Amino acid sequence: MTSSPPKPAAPAAPAPVTPLGWMHTARFLTTAAQLHHLPDHDLPEIAFVGRSNAGKSTCINTLTQQKQLAFASKKPGRTQHINLFSLGKQGITDAVLADLPGYGYAAVARDDKARWQRVMANYLVSRPNLLGVVMMCDPRHGLTELDEALLEVIRPRVEQGLKFLIVLTKADKLTRAEQAKALSIARLQAGGGEVRLFSALKKQGLEEVAQLLWDWTHPANATGEAASPAAPETPAD
């Protein structure tokens, strides 16, 4: 019996980049207590905001599949910092996530709160390459006064094209009917922005949110191909 020699293994094709795979590339970049300490860069930046306890850290950790990434923002001394994370395959950063401190936490001293509201508002109004804002909201409480105030701050930029997404967190705590109701209320409040249901517990909405952030940061160019060098190759049809 003859057996042909084993063929050399074909070089492995590069794994296609899925939006969720891209989210998993998140790496801690830097932390800053003041706006002018944030590094300048010319990549699209997406800010995550939300009332404290809305589920923001859990959402970021679940999306990036890194247990402690956003919880780094909760370490003493960092709770009032803007924490930046880089995203990008093969070490080539193509987007930046900014985790902004949770607001509305009762135990924060009034002066600190006021200072923080200013830093946050300044960031949202003046960060040059801010591409989009993701607001986490616990749908059992709906948008709070502070969420509404933040919406007011970014409204002029949203009208000029800033992208906006409300993530309704902890969706597992709602029945299907409650989820549908929360979605339609939030859609009215989002003023043309997007809304997605999300549950870290049930892994619900991960792909949808990742896809949206990918689409924001990798807009198709005129030929219909994704603009990013890290984008998966699509067969010509």
Task: State which of residues 25, 169, 179, 217 lies at the interface with ligand GDP (CB under 6 A).
Answer: 169
Q: Which helix (H) or strand (E) holds 126?
A: helix 110-126
| Stretch in the footprint of ligand GDP (CB under 6 A) among 4-12, 79-87, 169-177, 227-235 | 169-177
Does 81 interact with ligand GDP (rule: CB under 6 A)? no
Measured from the CB of residue 70, what is the shortest distance to ligand GDP in angstroms?
A: 7
Measured from the CB of residue 32, what is the shortest distance to ligand GDP in angstroms?
A: 18
Does 101 interact with ligand GDP (rule: CB under 6 A)? no
Does 53 interact with ligand GDP (rule: CB under 6 A)? yes
Q: Give the span between the Cα atoms of 119 and 125, in whole angstroms.
A: 10
Measured from the CB of residue 227, what is the shortest distance to ligand GDP in angstroms?
A: 32
Contacts of 196 (CB under 8 A, 6+ apart): 165, 166, 167, 168, 205, 208, 209, 212
Identity of the residue numbered 22: W
Contacts of 225 (CB under 8 A, 6+ apart): 231, 234
Query: What is the chain's alpha carbon radius of gyration, rounded to the nearest angstrom?
Result: 20
> Measured from the CB atom, is 54 or 213 closer to ligand GDP?
54
Task: State which of residues 23, 45, 47, 55 lies at the interface with ligand GDP (CB under 6 A).
Answer: 55
Q: Give the span between the Cα atoms of 51 and 147, in whole angstroms.
A: 7
Name the site residues for ligand GDP (rule: CB under 6 A).
50, 52-58, 102, 136, 169-170, 172-173, 199-201
